[in-house]
Amino acid sequence: MSAMQATRPAPAAARRRLLRPFSVLGAAWRRSIQLRVVTYTLVLSVLVVVLLGATLLQQVTDGLLRAKEATAVADASAGLTSAQDQLDAIDDVEPNNAGELLTDLVEQLANRAGPAGLYEVVLLSPESPNATVTARSPRVTRGVIPDSVPKQLRHQVVATPSVWRTYTDIRYDDGGSEPGLVVGGQLTVPGAGIYELYYLFPLSQQQQTLTLVQQALATAGAVLVVLLGAVAWLVVRQAVTPVRMAARIAERLSAGRLEERMTVRGEDDLARLAVSFNEMASGLQRQIRQLEDLSRVQRRFVSDVSHELRTPLTTVRMAADLLHESRDHFDPAVRRSAELLQTQLDRFEELLSDLLEISRFDAGAAVLDLDAVDVRTIVQRVLDSLAPLAQRSGSELVLVPSAEPCVAEVDQRRIERILRNLVVNAIEHGEGREVVVQVAVDARAVAVTVRDHGIGLRPGETALVFNRFWRADPARARTTGGTGLGLAIALEDARLHHGWLQAWGSPAPARSSG
């Protein structure tokens, strides 16, 4: 499988820059309990204030309109009764004098409103054959447009001799308008028929009152929301600050600063939390110090034993080499023993070398000898050296190289050791099937994968593969030798290069017998 290096298009980079503030805000939202609690408090406070303000405003509006309707109906009813009484006192009205009489009546009713202009009067007439054109013309005060009276209200007044009311928009001939309440009823004019008398009550004062109430509710609601947000911030801060302090102390403890402790203030629950945290930190410090001392002794022991064994091993090696070179002069049993001695000495020397390497990693003394090299050449060299081993095991080594150069700054010896350990492990557990090695590269890293098709790994074993001396199947005989430290050393070599080494797999299905 070939690898390809992809570059991000310019629009994607611009989109990332635009979305960066939102990502920062999202990260702050996920990390900060205080931010979430204050935000929830503000949102809920706004909802409560809006609901209460709307309810209160609706009640105030209903109260003002009910009071205005009661007053308007009373004034209009009194005016209708007074006008009808005046008209009833006249025996008969000449058609030519009806217009002048109605004009005087409207002016008289309008004068009762006083200088404040509590209402306007509109007198309208339906089509009547007994009235002159002058008598049928509308009578209005202060330039009110007769169309300010809704047609539906006129139909109700004409159809039923009762007092009717509705809301409308009072319009004037100068172009102005204002909300108003219209109350009307029938008026019978002797000799001229039925007329419609309407009282138009402006609601400007009520509108101003409602505007002031809205402004007061909005101001009070905003102040209340800000105060609730501040209270929530202060309360949450009191609870979150110790938690944040504990988190910072825990981060410092994880970084190795084992002497860090929380500050204890007071005797409340948070103070008890700080005391418990400090006791836990002290216990952890003691345990870690004990483990460090034990680990230091263990590493020193391994290093000392490995070095001390070098001298007798050298002597034994010299004797074993002498016996191995003279094995052809021995009888078959002694010759076989000399060969076994040589093989086991090789394994013993390999084990000592691995133990010394592990002790260097544990002591932090391992260093890199970096050089710019094409990793593909290292992979090819490893596969060439392991080809005889693969052939004896019945496995085929398949290389899938990268089409691009895989140059990186690496320690060739350590990278070769990593690859050798991986390939040998794949051959050992590949059960004679092919082993595929693939090399890939991108702008940031070089990757090598080694895949076998053998017994696989059971669930949970992937976390144990790189443990020292761990074997997937302890009962399974080794055919290639090995010390059990190869993958552990390979992992340390990868970390030393600031890289990573992972293993994954699943149990292979059982082969069917043919």
Phi, psi at 10, each rounded to 5° = -60, -40
pLDDT band at 182 (very low <50, low <70, confident <90, very high): very high
Give the integer Cα–Cα distance in Å for 246 and 263: 10
Nearest to 108 by CA among 136, 137, 141: 141
251 with 301, same domain?
no
Model confidence pLDDT, tens digit, residues 306-346: 667 777 777 787 887 887 788 877 888 888 888 888 777 77
State mean pLDDT over 390-397.
87
pLDDT at 185: 92
C-alpha separations of 85 from 82, 90, 197, 359, 454 in Å:
5, 9, 14, 122, 116
- Taking the CB of residue 157, how many other CB atoms lie within 10 A of it? 26
Placement of tokens 């990593």 in the chain: 418
Assign residue 294 the CATH number of its domain: 1.10.287.130
pLDDT at 50: 92
Query: Is pLDDT of 210 > 60?
Result: yes
Q: Please count the helices (runs of H) and the strands (runs of E) in the chain.
A: 11, 10
Name the residue type at position 371: D
pTM: 0.49
Phi, psi at 279, each rounded to 5° = -65, -40
Which of 19-33, 95-109, 199-213, 415-429 comes out lowest in average pLDDT? 19-33
State mean pLDDT over 14-33.
69
Residue with the larger pLDDT of the pair 68 and 297: 68
Model confidence pLDDT, tens digit, residues 476-500: 444 445 567 778 888 888 888 888 8
Of 347, 363, 379, the domain-final residue: 363
What tokens appear for 168 in the block?
Answer: 């409308």
Give the integer Cα–Cα distance in Å for 502 and 463: 9
- The segment with the largest mean pLDDT, out of 34-48, 82-96, 104-118, 450-464, is 34-48
How far is C-alpha 443 from the geometric centre of its chain's CA atoms?
Answer: 30
Query: Is pLDDT of 350 > 70?
Result: yes
346 with 375, same domain?
no
Give the integer Cα–Cα distance in Å for 352 and 357: 9
**What is the overall mean pLDDT for the chain?**
80
pLDDT at 472: 61
Percent of the chain with pLDDT over 90: 18
With DSSP H G I counted as helix, E B as strand and the rest as coil, what are the percentages for the chain, rounded to 5? 60, 15, 30
321 with 224, same domain?
no
Name the residue type at position 143: G
Model confidence pLDDT, tens digit, residues 102-141: 888 888 888 887 776 789 999 988 654 444 445 567 888 8
pLDDT band at 216 (very low <50, low <70, confident <90, very high): very high
b vs e for 477-495, b when ≥16 Cβ sit within 10 Å of the residue's Cβ? eeeeebbebbbbbbbbbbe
Half-sphere exposure of 7 (CA within 13 A, CB side): 2
pLDDT band at 276 (very low <50, low <70, confident <90, very high): confident
- List beta partners, residue 121: 199
Structural domain range at position 182: 20-260
Placement of tokens 């292979």 in the chain: 508
Query: Is pLDDT of 183 > 90?
Result: yes
C-alpha separations of 388 from 132, 385, 430 in Å:
130, 7, 15
In a domain, 203, yes or no: yes
pLDDT band at 213 (very low <50, low <70, confident <90, very high): very high
Query: Is pLDDT of 442 > 90?
Result: no
Whats the size of the chain, residue-wise? 514
b vs e for 48-69, b when ≥16 Cβ sit within 10 Å of the residue's Cβ? ebeeebeeebeebeeebbeeee
pLDDT at 513: 39
b vs e for 269-280, b when ≥16 Cβ sit within 10 Å of the residue's Cβ? ebeeebeebbee
In a domain, 315, yes or no: yes
Give the integer Cα–Cα distance in Å for 264 and 278: 9
Angle separating helix axes 332-363 and 269-325, nearest 10 degrees: 150
Residue 202 CB-density burial (10 A; 0-12 exposed, 13-18 middle, 19+ buried): middle
Give the integer Cα–Cα distance in Å for 39 and 236: 12
Number of domains in the chain: 3
Give the integer Cα–Cα distance in Å for 122 and 2: 93
**Residues near 400 by Cβ (< 8 Å), separated by ≥ 6?**
1, 436, 437, 438, 439
Assign residue 37 the CATH number of its domain: 3.30.450.20
192 with 284, same domain?
no
CB-based contact 424:389 (threshold 8 Å):
yes
215 with 308, same domain?
no
What tokens appear for 178 in the block?
Answer: 């204002």
The alpha carbons of the chain give a radius of gyration, in whole angstroms, of: 50
State mean pLDDT over 415-439.
87
pLDDT band at 16 (very low <50, low <70, confident <90, very high): low
CB-based contact 437:473 (threshold 8 Å):
no
Query: Is pLDDT of 13 > 60?
Result: no
Which of 353-357, 441-445, 494-498 comes out lowest in average pLDDT? 353-357
pLDDT at 202: 92
Give the integer Cα–Cα distance in Å for 45 and 42: 5
pLDDT at 262: 78
pLDDT at 152: 92
Give the integer Cα–Cα distance in Å for 453 and 395: 10
Model confidence pLDDT, tens digit, residues 218-256: 999 999 999 988 888 888 887 777 777 877 888 887 777
pLDDT at 1: 28
Long-range contacts of 444-448 (CB under 8 A, 24+ apart): 445/408, 445/499, 446/375, 446/406, 446/408, 448/375, 448/379, 448/419
In a domain, 2, yes or no: no
pLDDT at 15: 63
In a domain, 222, yes or no: yes
Query: Is pLDDT of 381 > 60?
Result: yes
What tokens appear for 173 in the block?
Answer: 């001939």
Query: Is pLDDT of 95 > 70?
Result: no
Name the residue type at position 484: G
Of 363, 395, 428, the domain-final residue: 363
298 with 239, same domain?
no
C-alpha separations of 12 from 18, 326, 444 in Å:
10, 74, 19
pLDDT at 511: 53
Assign residue 424 the CATH number of its domain: 3.30.565.10
Give the integer Cα–Cα distance in Å for 58 and 116: 28
CB-based contact 357:489 (threshold 8 Å):
yes
In a domain, 124, yes or no: yes
Residue with the larger pLDDT of the pair 151 and 95: 151
In a domain, 511, yes or no: no
475 with 349, same domain?
no
C-alpha separations of 356 from 488, 490, 503 in Å:
13, 14, 25
291 with 242, same domain?
no
pLDDT at 8: 38
Query: Is pLDDT of 512 > 50?
Result: no
Give the integer Cα–Cα distance in Å for 461 and 171: 88
Name the residue type at position 442: D
339 with 409, same domain?
no
**Residues near 398 by Cβ (< 8 Å), separated by ≥ 6?**
434, 435, 436, 437
Of 336, 363, 390, the domain-final residue: 363
